[in-house]
Amino acid sequence: MKIGQIEIPQLCRLAPMAAISNAPFRLIAKECGSGLTTTEEMDAFALLMDTRLADEMAAYYPQERPLAMQLLGRDPQALIRAAHRCEELGADIVDLNMGCPMPKITGKGKGAALMKDVPGTARLLRAMRQTIAVPFTIKIRGGWDDLHLNAVEVARMAESEGIDAVTVHPRTRSQRFAGKAPWTIIAEVVEAVRIPVTGNGDVRSTAEARRMVDETGCQSVMVGRGALGSPWVFDEGFDALTPQAQRDYKDRVIRRHMALIQEHCSDRYALSQMKKHLAWYTDGLAHATDCRARIFHTKSPAEVWDVFQEYWEVSARRAEPVAVAAV
Protein backbone atom coordinates (compact mmCIF):
# COMPACT_ATOMS: atom_id res chain seq x y z
CA MET A 1 0.00 0.00 0.00
CA LYS A 2 1.15 3.54 -0.69
CA ILE A 3 -0.27 6.67 0.97
CA GLY A 4 1.11 9.68 -0.83
CA GLN A 5 4.82 8.90 -0.95
CA ILE A 6 4.69 6.67 2.15
CA GLU A 7 5.32 3.03 1.30
CA ILE A 8 3.62 0.46 3.56
CA PRO A 9 4.75 -2.99 2.43
CA GLN A 10 3.14 -4.98 5.24
CA LEU A 11 -0.45 -6.20 5.00
CA CYS A 12 -1.63 -5.29 8.51
CA ARG A 13 -1.27 -2.28 10.77
CA LEU A 14 -2.30 -1.29 14.27
CA ALA A 15 -5.51 0.71 14.70
CA PRO A 16 -5.64 3.86 16.84
CA MET A 17 -7.38 3.08 20.14
CA ALA A 18 -8.05 5.60 22.91
CA ALA A 19 -5.92 5.04 26.03
CA ILE A 20 -4.30 2.01 24.37
CA SER A 21 -2.31 2.99 21.27
CA ASN A 22 0.43 4.79 23.16
CA ALA A 23 4.10 4.76 22.18
CA PRO A 24 5.07 1.52 23.98
CA PHE A 25 2.25 -0.52 22.44
CA ARG A 26 2.75 1.03 19.01
CA LEU A 27 6.45 0.16 19.07
CA ILE A 28 5.68 -3.41 20.14
CA ALA A 29 3.21 -3.71 17.26
CA LYS A 30 5.79 -2.24 14.87
CA GLU A 31 8.45 -4.70 16.03
CA CYS A 32 5.98 -7.55 15.51
CA GLY A 33 5.31 -6.43 11.95
CA SER A 34 2.72 -3.61 11.89
CA GLY A 35 3.24 -1.67 8.67
CA LEU A 36 2.19 1.69 10.05
CA THR A 37 1.42 2.99 13.52
CA THR A 38 -1.17 5.62 14.43
CA THR A 39 -1.45 7.57 17.66
CA GLU A 40 -4.61 7.39 19.72
CA GLU A 41 -7.09 10.14 18.90
CA MET A 42 -5.85 13.53 20.07
CA ASP A 43 -8.34 16.34 20.55
CA ALA A 44 -7.20 19.32 18.49
CA PHE A 45 -7.76 21.89 21.26
CA ALA A 46 -6.02 19.69 23.85
CA LEU A 47 -2.98 19.19 21.62
CA LEU A 48 -2.63 22.94 21.14
CA MET A 49 -2.60 23.54 24.90
CA ASP A 50 0.80 21.80 25.25
CA THR A 51 -0.18 20.08 28.48
CA ARG A 52 1.75 17.15 29.92
CA LEU A 53 -1.01 14.77 28.86
CA ALA A 54 -0.99 16.14 25.30
CA ASP A 55 2.78 15.78 25.13
CA GLU A 56 2.56 12.16 26.34
CA MET A 57 -0.10 11.31 23.76
CA ALA A 58 1.97 12.82 20.94
CA ALA A 59 5.26 11.26 22.06
CA TYR A 60 6.69 8.48 19.91
CA TYR A 61 9.80 6.41 19.33
CA PRO A 62 11.78 7.17 16.14
CA GLN A 63 11.68 3.44 15.32
CA GLU A 64 7.90 3.65 14.90
CA ARG A 65 8.03 5.65 11.72
CA PRO A 66 6.25 5.97 9.41
CA LEU A 67 3.83 7.36 11.97
CA ALA A 68 0.33 8.76 11.53
CA MET A 69 -1.06 11.17 14.11
CA GLN A 70 -4.82 11.10 14.49
CA LEU A 71 -6.77 14.24 15.33
CA LEU A 72 -10.25 14.62 16.77
CA GLY A 73 -12.35 17.74 16.39
CA ARG A 74 -14.83 19.78 14.37
CA ASP A 75 -13.45 23.34 14.43
CA PRO A 76 -11.54 24.01 11.16
CA GLN A 77 -9.08 26.51 12.57
CA ALA A 78 -8.24 24.37 15.58
CA LEU A 79 -7.79 21.30 13.39
CA ILE A 80 -5.57 23.19 10.94
CA ARG A 81 -3.36 24.47 13.75
CA ALA A 82 -3.28 21.02 15.36
CA ALA A 83 -2.35 19.43 12.02
CA HIS A 84 0.54 21.86 11.69
CA ARG A 85 1.59 20.94 15.22
CA CYS A 86 1.58 17.26 14.21
CA GLU A 87 3.79 18.07 11.23
CA GLU A 88 6.18 19.98 13.50
CA LEU A 89 6.35 16.95 15.81
CA GLY A 90 7.31 14.73 12.89
CA ALA A 91 4.07 13.09 11.76
CA ASP A 92 4.44 11.37 8.41
CA ILE A 93 0.64 11.33 7.96
CA VAL A 94 -2.19 13.33 9.54
CA ASP A 95 -5.41 11.37 10.07
CA LEU A 96 -8.82 12.76 11.02
CA ASN A 97 -11.06 10.66 13.25
CA MET A 98 -14.52 10.49 11.68
CA GLY A 99 -15.49 7.20 13.29
CA CYS A 100 -15.45 7.45 17.08
CA PRO A 101 -18.94 6.36 18.21
CA MET A 102 -18.81 7.40 21.87
CA PRO A 103 -21.65 9.75 22.91
CA LYS A 104 -19.29 12.12 24.74
CA ILE A 105 -17.51 12.63 21.39
CA THR A 106 -20.39 12.57 18.91
CA GLY A 107 -22.47 14.78 21.22
CA LYS A 108 -19.96 17.55 20.52
CA GLY A 109 -20.14 17.04 16.76
CA LYS A 110 -16.84 15.17 16.57
CA GLY A 111 -15.89 11.66 15.48
CA ALA A 112 -18.67 9.79 13.69
CA ALA A 113 -20.91 12.87 13.93
CA LEU A 114 -18.89 14.39 11.06
CA MET A 115 -20.49 11.82 8.75
CA LYS A 116 -23.93 13.31 9.40
CA ASP A 117 -23.11 16.64 7.75
CA VAL A 118 -21.40 15.75 4.49
CA PRO A 119 -21.35 19.29 2.96
CA GLY A 120 -20.01 20.78 6.20
CA THR A 121 -17.38 18.06 6.55
CA ALA A 122 -16.38 18.59 2.91
CA ARG A 123 -15.60 22.23 3.73
CA LEU A 124 -13.62 21.11 6.78
CA LEU A 125 -11.55 18.59 4.82
CA ARG A 126 -10.96 21.15 2.05
CA ALA A 127 -9.61 23.69 4.51
CA MET A 128 -7.32 21.15 6.13
CA ARG A 129 -6.11 19.68 2.84
CA GLN A 130 -5.09 23.11 1.55
CA THR A 131 -2.70 23.64 4.44
CA ILE A 132 -1.37 20.15 5.30
CA ALA A 133 1.87 19.25 3.52
CA VAL A 134 2.06 15.56 4.49
CA PRO A 135 -0.47 12.92 3.34
CA PHE A 136 -3.93 13.47 4.84
CA THR A 137 -6.23 10.52 5.60
CA ILE A 138 -9.53 9.82 7.35
CA LYS A 139 -11.07 6.94 9.27
CA ILE A 140 -14.82 6.49 8.92
CA ARG A 141 -17.66 4.11 9.86
CA GLY A 142 -20.38 2.53 7.78
CA GLY A 143 -22.65 5.40 8.74
CA TRP A 144 -24.56 6.93 11.64
CA ASP A 145 -27.08 4.08 11.91
CA ASP A 146 -28.74 1.45 9.71
CA LEU A 147 -30.94 4.11 8.11
CA HIS A 148 -27.96 6.27 7.21
CA LEU A 149 -25.31 4.04 5.63
CA ASN A 150 -23.28 6.67 3.80
CA ALA A 151 -19.70 5.41 3.88
CA VAL A 152 -19.58 5.39 0.07
CA GLU A 153 -20.89 8.96 -0.16
CA VAL A 154 -18.42 10.20 2.45
CA ALA A 155 -15.48 8.36 0.84
CA ARG A 156 -16.29 9.84 -2.57
CA MET A 157 -16.58 13.30 -1.07
CA ALA A 158 -13.24 12.86 0.73
CA GLU A 159 -11.54 11.73 -2.47
CA SER A 160 -12.87 14.79 -4.30
CA GLU A 161 -11.40 17.00 -1.56
CA GLY A 162 -7.94 15.52 -2.00
CA ILE A 163 -7.83 13.01 0.83
CA ASP A 164 -5.00 10.52 0.21
CA ALA A 165 -6.53 7.37 1.73
CA VAL A 166 -9.49 6.19 3.79
CA THR A 167 -9.92 3.53 6.46
CA VAL A 168 -13.37 1.98 6.77
CA HIS A 169 -14.77 0.36 9.89
CA PRO A 170 -18.11 -0.88 8.51
CA ARG A 171 -20.13 -0.94 11.72
CA THR A 172 -22.39 2.06 12.23
CA ARG A 173 -22.06 4.58 15.04
CA SER A 174 -25.13 3.08 16.73
CA GLN A 175 -23.59 -0.42 16.63
CA ARG A 176 -20.36 0.76 18.25
CA PHE A 177 -18.48 -2.56 18.49
CA ALA A 178 -21.43 -4.94 18.72
CA GLY A 179 -22.49 -7.53 16.17
CA LYS A 180 -20.59 -8.65 13.13
CA ALA A 181 -18.75 -6.11 10.98
CA PRO A 182 -20.40 -6.07 7.50
CA TRP A 183 -17.36 -6.28 5.24
CA THR A 184 -19.56 -5.69 2.19
CA ILE A 185 -19.51 -1.98 3.05
CA ILE A 186 -15.71 -1.98 2.75
CA ALA A 187 -16.05 -3.61 -0.67
CA GLU A 188 -18.54 -0.95 -1.75
CA VAL A 189 -16.12 1.82 -0.78
CA VAL A 190 -13.25 0.10 -2.61
CA GLU A 191 -15.41 -0.05 -5.72
CA ALA A 192 -16.45 3.60 -5.42
CA VAL A 193 -13.07 5.34 -5.05
CA ARG A 194 -9.58 5.28 -6.57
CA ILE A 195 -7.66 6.20 -3.41
CA PRO A 196 -6.25 3.39 -1.20
CA VAL A 197 -8.76 1.81 1.18
CA THR A 198 -7.88 0.08 4.45
CA GLY A 199 -10.40 -2.33 5.95
CA ASN A 200 -11.03 -2.63 9.68
CA GLY A 201 -13.28 -4.83 11.81
CA ASP A 202 -13.33 -8.39 13.20
CA VAL A 203 -9.79 -9.34 12.18
CA ARG A 204 -7.86 -11.40 14.71
CA SER A 205 -5.30 -13.21 12.57
CA THR A 206 -3.27 -12.86 9.41
CA ALA A 207 -5.52 -15.45 7.78
CA GLU A 208 -8.60 -13.32 8.53
CA ALA A 209 -6.78 -10.25 7.20
CA ARG A 210 -6.09 -12.02 3.92
CA ARG A 211 -9.72 -13.13 3.76
CA MET A 212 -10.81 -9.50 4.19
CA VAL A 213 -8.56 -8.46 1.32
CA ASP A 214 -9.91 -11.27 -0.87
CA GLU A 215 -13.54 -10.47 -0.08
CA THR A 216 -13.38 -6.67 -0.20
CA GLY A 217 -10.44 -5.71 -2.41
CA CYS A 218 -9.01 -3.39 0.27
CA GLN A 219 -5.27 -2.77 0.08
CA SER A 220 -4.41 -3.10 3.74
CA VAL A 221 -6.03 -4.19 7.00
CA MET A 222 -6.18 -2.29 10.29
CA VAL A 223 -6.29 -4.46 13.42
CA GLY A 224 -7.54 -3.04 16.71
CA ARG A 225 -9.07 -5.25 19.39
CA GLY A 226 -7.58 -8.32 17.68
CA ALA A 227 -4.12 -7.07 18.69
CA LEU A 228 -4.92 -6.68 22.39
CA GLY A 229 -2.96 -9.34 24.22
CA SER A 230 -1.60 -10.66 20.93
CA PRO A 231 0.50 -8.09 19.05
CA TRP A 232 2.16 -11.03 17.28
CA VAL A 233 -0.94 -10.98 15.07
CA PHE A 234 1.15 -8.68 12.86
CA ASP A 235 3.86 -11.33 12.37
CA GLU A 236 2.95 -13.45 9.37
CA GLY A 237 5.42 -16.14 10.46
CA PHE A 238 4.11 -16.57 13.99
CA ASP A 239 1.54 -19.29 13.25
CA ALA A 240 4.23 -21.44 11.60
CA LEU A 241 6.34 -21.55 14.78
CA THR A 242 6.37 -24.58 17.07
CA PRO A 243 4.39 -24.25 20.34
CA GLN A 244 7.60 -23.75 22.32
CA ALA A 245 8.90 -21.17 19.85
CA GLN A 246 5.58 -19.33 20.04
CA ARG A 247 5.79 -19.26 23.83
CA ASP A 248 9.37 -17.97 23.74
CA TYR A 249 8.28 -15.29 21.24
CA LYS A 250 5.40 -14.23 23.50
CA ASP A 251 7.69 -14.13 26.53
CA ARG A 252 10.13 -11.82 24.76
CA VAL A 253 7.38 -9.52 23.53
CA ILE A 254 5.62 -9.27 26.91
CA ARG A 255 8.87 -8.54 28.77
CA ARG A 256 9.84 -5.94 26.18
CA HIS A 257 6.38 -4.33 26.36
CA MET A 258 6.43 -4.05 30.15
CA ALA A 259 9.94 -2.55 30.08
CA LEU A 260 8.85 0.05 27.51
CA ILE A 261 5.80 0.99 29.61
CA GLN A 262 7.94 1.59 32.70
CA GLU A 263 10.50 3.51 30.65
CA HIS A 264 7.94 5.72 28.91
CA CYS A 265 5.17 6.31 31.47
CA SER A 266 4.91 7.94 34.86
CA ASP A 267 4.62 5.44 37.76
CA ARG A 268 0.87 5.76 38.20
CA TYR A 269 0.12 5.55 34.49
CA ALA A 270 2.64 2.72 34.09
CA LEU A 271 0.79 0.66 36.68
CA SER A 272 -2.58 1.14 35.00
CA GLN A 273 -1.09 0.30 31.60
CA MET A 274 0.65 -2.82 32.92
CA LYS A 275 -2.56 -4.01 34.56
CA LYS A 276 -4.54 -3.49 31.38
CA HIS A 277 -2.10 -5.17 29.02
CA LEU A 278 -1.07 -8.02 31.31
CA ALA A 279 -4.76 -8.82 31.80
CA TRP A 280 -5.06 -9.14 28.02
CA TYR A 281 -1.90 -11.25 27.90
CA THR A 282 -3.53 -13.79 30.26
CA ASP A 283 -5.71 -15.04 27.41
CA GLY A 284 -5.11 -18.78 27.15
CA LEU A 285 -3.36 -19.10 30.52
CA ALA A 286 -4.52 -21.60 33.10
CA HIS A 287 -6.75 -19.92 35.72
CA ALA A 288 -6.76 -16.70 33.68
CA THR A 289 -9.86 -15.37 35.47
CA ASP A 290 -8.17 -15.65 38.87
CA CYS A 291 -5.02 -14.08 37.46
CA ARG A 292 -6.89 -11.07 36.11
CA ALA A 293 -8.69 -10.57 39.43
CA ARG A 294 -5.38 -10.51 41.29
CA ILE A 295 -3.77 -8.26 38.68
CA PHE A 296 -6.34 -5.52 39.24
CA HIS A 297 -5.74 -5.58 43.01
CA THR A 298 -2.00 -4.98 42.78
CA LYS A 299 -0.43 -1.74 44.02
CA SER A 300 2.87 -1.46 42.13
CA PRO A 301 4.48 -2.37 38.80
CA ALA A 302 6.68 -4.95 40.53
CA GLU A 303 3.70 -6.59 42.21
CA VAL A 304 1.58 -6.81 39.07
CA TRP A 305 4.51 -8.33 37.18
CA ASP A 306 5.09 -10.93 39.93
CA VAL A 307 1.42 -11.95 39.85
CA PHE A 308 1.44 -12.35 36.08
CA GLN A 309 4.69 -14.33 36.16
CA GLU A 310 3.27 -16.72 38.74
CA TYR A 311 0.48 -17.76 36.37
CA TRP A 312 2.71 -17.57 33.31
CA GLU A 313 5.14 -20.08 34.80
CA VAL A 314 2.33 -22.40 35.92
CA SER A 315 1.03 -22.44 32.36
CA ALA A 316 4.55 -23.19 31.09
CA ARG A 317 4.80 -26.25 33.34
CA ARG A 318 1.37 -27.45 32.22
CA ALA A 319 2.46 -27.17 28.59
CA GLU A 320 5.60 -29.27 29.06
CA PRO A 321 5.36 -32.68 27.37
CA VAL A 322 5.01 -35.61 29.74
CA ALA A 323 7.90 -38.07 29.53
CA VAL A 324 6.75 -41.63 28.81
CA ALA A 325 9.02 -44.42 30.09
CA ALA A 326 10.01 -46.97 27.50
CA VAL A 327 8.58 -50.41 28.10
Q: Provide the sign of the torsion angle of the four alpha carbons 17, 22, 28, 30, taken in this order.
A: positive
Q: What residues contact residue 99 under an 8 Å CB cut-off, 6+ apart?
A: 111, 112, 139, 140, 141, 169, 173
100 part of the active site: yes
- CA-based angle 188:191:194, to the nearest 5? 130
Q: What residues contact residue 49 under an 8 Å CB cut-off, 6+ apart?
A: none
198 in Cβ contact with 167 (< 8 Å): yes
3-state secondary structure of 235: coil
Candidates 114, 4, 94, 88; CA nearest to 41 is 94
Candidates 208, 204, 210; CA nearest to 224 is 204
The helix-helix angle for 183-192 and 151-160 (nearest 10°) equals 30
Q: What residues contact residue 144 under an 8 Å CB cut-off, 6+ apart?
A: 112, 113, 115, 116, 150, 172, 173, 174
151 in Cβ contact with 168 (< 8 Å): yes
Strand partners, 7: 2
Half-sphere exposure for 56 (CA within 13 Å, toward CB) = 16
3-state secondary structure of 246: helix
Half-sphere exposure for 219 (CA within 13 Å, toward CB) = 18
**Candidates 32, 100, 265, 291; catalytic one:** 100
3-state secondary structure of 165: strand
- Catalytically annotated residues: 100
